[in-house]
Chain A
């Protein structure tokens, strides 16, 4: 069974600092990997996805993530944090099973200090 681990349930950075949110996965087959963002009182919005093309994936709002098969990681980064980036971020993996199920990590709440 696949699983996703997000290191750090809460991450705090200063405005303008590097954002690094960690995600490690386990999967028996080459996975599809996703980062979703959830702003307060809203649903989930796709930030970016890896579907076996380029290993460095660029998403919306300046975020990017790198798929590293040898490390089974898919960490999310942004060079310079903005106050509007404060949200909860979820890493997810899909093996495209019949149920089309996404397996999510526990989430990381990003706080941005002025």
Chain B
């Protein structure tokens, strides 16, 4: 069964305390991406990766880092979280080639106090 697994699903943290949200996919896909969802704004892309060691910024990359050392994993790193990064985060990978359709993980709800 195709899966995109994110951890943690819920996290409350404090300003400045580094955290990592992990994402793992079992579809052997080259492309992975991260989105954040905020009320009234829909989902916005943070970073994406076309393949191992290849990453690029999306629309809202400030305050985030990513790494892609293995094809299946694409962690999202918040080096110094701030309250404006309180959001719902989704990892995604494409369904098929050149369809534009994305398969999403179940989301990680992050609260930064």
What is the interface of chain A, defined by CB distance below 8 A to chain B?
Answer: 4, 6, 9, 32, 34, 42-44, 46, 49, 51, 90, 92, 94, 96, 98-102, 104-107
Specify which chain A residues have a CB less than 8 angstroms from the CB of B33 in the assembled complex: 99-101
CB contact between B101 and one of A43, A46, A90 (< 8 Å): that residue: A46
What would 10 A/B residue contacts be, using CB atoms closer than 8 Å? A34-B101, A43-B90, A46-B101, A49-B101, A92-B43, A94-B100, A98-B50, A100-B31, A101-B33, A107-B42
Q: Are B48 and A4 in contact (CB under 8 A)?
A: no
- Once A and B bind, how many residue pairs between them come within 8 Å at the CB atom? 66
Q: Which of A44, A96, A106 contacts B90 (CB 8 A)?
A: A44
How far, in angstroms, from A104 to B50 measured CA to CA in the complex?
A: 20
By beta carbon, the residue of chain B nearest A36 is B104
In the complex, what residues of A have CB within 8 A of residue B98's CB?
96
Q: Which of A42, A46, A102 has the most CB of B within 10 A?
A: A102
Report B84-99 CB contacts with A as 1/0, cut-off 8 Å.
Answer: 0000001000110011
Give B residues with C-beta under 8 Å from A: 31, 33, 39-45, 48, 50, 56, 58-59, 90, 94-95, 98-102, 104-107
A43 touches B43 (CB 8 A): no
Min Cβ gap B103→A in Å is: 8
Question: What residues of B have a CB within 8 angstroms of the CB of A105 in the complex?
Answer: 42
